[in-house]
Every structure is written in structure tokens, then in C-alpha cells.
Amino acid sequence: MKEAGNFSEDGARLSWCLIIFGIGLLSRTFFIIFSSFTSGDQRDYTSIAHNILNSGQFAITPASPTIFRPPMYPFFLALIYRLFGEHNEAVWIAQALIGAAAGVILYLILRRFVSEGNARFTAALAAIYPNLSFYAATVLAETLLSAGIVLMVYFVYRARGERQLLFSILAGATAALTILISPRLMGAPLIVAASLWFGQSKAQRRIKPVLLSLCAALLVLTPWTVRNYATFGIFNLASMQGPGLPFWLTTKRVEVYDWKWVELRRTEPLMQRYDELHNDEASEQRLIKERASIERAMLWDGVKVIWADPFGYVKDRAYKYPRLWFQPAAYAGNFQKPFASQNMRLSQMIEERAIIPATARILSLIIFTLIPTVLVICGIIILLPRWKEHAVVYMLLAWVALVQAPLFIEYRFTVVIHPVLAIFSAVALEKCLALMRNRRLKPSVKS
């Protein structure tokens, strides 16, 4: 009977893995059909992928290798192009499959902390999550990065049980891969190491997992670091997408795709020099030291601007900071019919009787922004007494919140960690359900 019960449980778990995978795939397919998007970064990524295939060189232009972009996503594109031809549709489908698989991994994480029904429900909503599903229909690294983060968190949790050392190694290696997807996650190996340390009650069981995770991360990062030093003569783990330009732009009170950026390109000598150096892609290898120098110059110039008006800078950041986390239906402007609307404001949609876009916008706001925000905040508070057990999620949240705060505000910098924040949401939902059950039981107890 016990074996039959285990078999039944395994079958149900597998069935729900397939259901959540299917839901995630359908959500991303919807965006591929109705809301594909061409980004500014797409040109660099595809150019590098083409050069990898044609000449074996990691370069935006054949005249010079590049260090401007991290390696993982261009190599991912090159693999898709090699297997299926140089078509964006193949990339979108591959990303849809990866995003859907990440939803399944999240479900396996959630099952460790909440009831089975809650895990299924939360994972299904996270799989649908339109703000992240949208990126499957772009040539951007966000889908790959988010999946890497979810997998890293899964390995950290698994490292607390059997095969601790194996999962510690896998967690460290995955953390390093996230850096090679985006240098914004530069702190990932340290987050993993600290999480493994806090996750063990006995000091003697902490040292090996921590050291193995750091060694695994170092081994993954070493080949690309050696390549960068041998090619450009500088020590760099991933890419030259440094914080100089975004930090400088924040001090100038410029937002993403703001017309003020165009004005800065016309009037500011530092911006003009930056553009001049980065537009000369054929000379990147020769001009690399000047590129590094202009990054440092922008950092120091930004510091001077803040020094002159610290209150104004903090006020501007505080005003714009929520947009780093909340941009409900930011993808809506790319919709095709019947979901397209000429006006993006909800009030105007209602006035124009654009029923389908307005309804979709309202439901998206309620289901995927308002309710999850409340639940995540509550979950963060509820889990505080057990923060060591969930240190990896707390530290990921702190890293993104604190590192991105002074930089150029862009929603896609944070949306990649939204799936793991569903852990907080699920815990809060579990608490709410328990309170409701207790209230229903109280009258019967009195009687």
C-alpha cells in the first residue's frame, strides 16, 4: 500500500510538472504571436552570434573581438542558429521552452515549504506571469537569466538535504553562469556561499559546501576571464558593461529611452566621447583602455553631481525607484489586434470602449501586480524568523534592490528575480489559508 501511495504521489507530481510546463509554454506562445518586440540590444547579440558561427570569433564586427557583451546569451543564440537556422522564431520557441521549464523548477521549490495545492496554484500563476513571459518573444537575455536564477535557488535548497556537496557545486557553477549571462548578478557566487553557510546549523558541515561552491564558480568563470585578459589585457569576469554610464545617467535625471538622453548626446562632452569610442566597434581591442577610462570618468563625474546636490539625487531616485519593480503591462504597447489599443491609459481605453485591451489590463493589474505585491511583502515579514533557511532569496532581493537603486532604472533589471519572490507570496498565502481554516473551525469547537 505504501508503494502504491508513493507511486500515486509521484504520478501526481509528474502530472503537475507537465501542466505547469504547458501553462508556461502557452503564456509565452501568446506573446510570441501577439507581442513580439525588437530591442536595441538585439543587434549586438545577433551580430556576435553570426560572427561566432561564421568565423569562430566573439565579435560585434569581424574587425575586432568584443568584451562589451557577456558571452552566454550570444553563444545560446549561435547554438539555436546552428541547429535551426538564423530565425528569431527559433530563438523565441527555445526561450519559451526554457521559461516554461523554469516554472516547473519553481514548483519543485515551492513544494518544500507550502502545501501541494498552494505550490501548484502559485507555480501556475508564476508560469503565466506576463511581465516575464513577454521576454520570451524578444532577443534579450532575461528569460535565460531568470531561469538560471531559479535553478541556482533550487540547487541551494537541495544542498540542505542528501548529496549536499553535489548540489553545492551545482549551485556555485550556476551562480557563475548567471554572471556570464549578465554582470548585474556579479554577487551571485557570494550569495550562494553565504546561503550555504547560514543553511547549516553545525559549523563543520558549512566549510566544505561553501568552498566547493566557490571553487565551482571560479572554474566556470576562469576560461572567459583568461580570454578577456589574453585578448584585451584587462581583468574582467564577464563584460565591459560597467556601471559608469547608467550611474552617470541617473545623476543627470534621465530615464530609459528619455528624449533627454538624445540631448545629452548632443551637448555633453563625456557622452559624446563615450559614443565615439563605442561606435568605433572595429577598434574596440585597440581602444579598450580608453573605454575603461571613460567609464571611470563617468563614475567620478556622477559622484561630483551627487556631491553638489545629494538631497536632489536621493529625492529623484526615491520617486523613480518603484518603477524598478512595478511596470504593470509594460509589454502592452507591443500588442497586435485584438489586444492592441491606440492609447495606453486605462481611462482612455474605457472611453474608447476598447473592451478587450481594457479588461486584459485590469486583470493583469489585479492578478499579477496588486495581489502578488501584498503577498510578497507579507511573506518577507512572515519568514523573517526563518531567514537563514531562505537566505538565498533574501540576499538576492537585497542585492538587486540595493545594487540597482543608484543605477539607471529599468524594469527588466528586477523582473528576472520575480519568480523566486513567489516563495514569499506562497508562504503568505499559506498563512492566510490557515487563518481562514481556523476561523471556520472555531464556531464548531464552541458548540
Residues in contact with 54: Cβ distance below 8 Å, sequence separation at least 6, in sequence order: 62
Report the range of poorest mean pLDDT among 64-68, 290-294, 410-414, 424-428: 410-414
Q: Residue 335 — very low, low, confident or very high, per pLDDT cuts 50/70/90? A: low
Q: What are the tens digits of pLDDT across the range 171-221?
A: 999 999 999 999 888 999 999 999 999 877 666 678 889 999 999 999 999
Q: What are the tens digits of pLDDT across the range 371-385?
A: 989 999 999 999 999
342 vs 296: which has the higher pLDDT? 296
Mean per-residue pLDDT, 83-95: 91
Looking at residue 47, its pLDDT comes to 93
Indicate if the pLDDT at residue 65 is higher than 80.
yes
Looking at residue 292, its pLDDT comes to 87
Indicate if the pLDDT at residue 225 is higher than 60.
yes
- pTM value? 0.90
In angstroms, what CA-CA distances link 148 with 77, 177, 222, 301? 16, 7, 19, 35
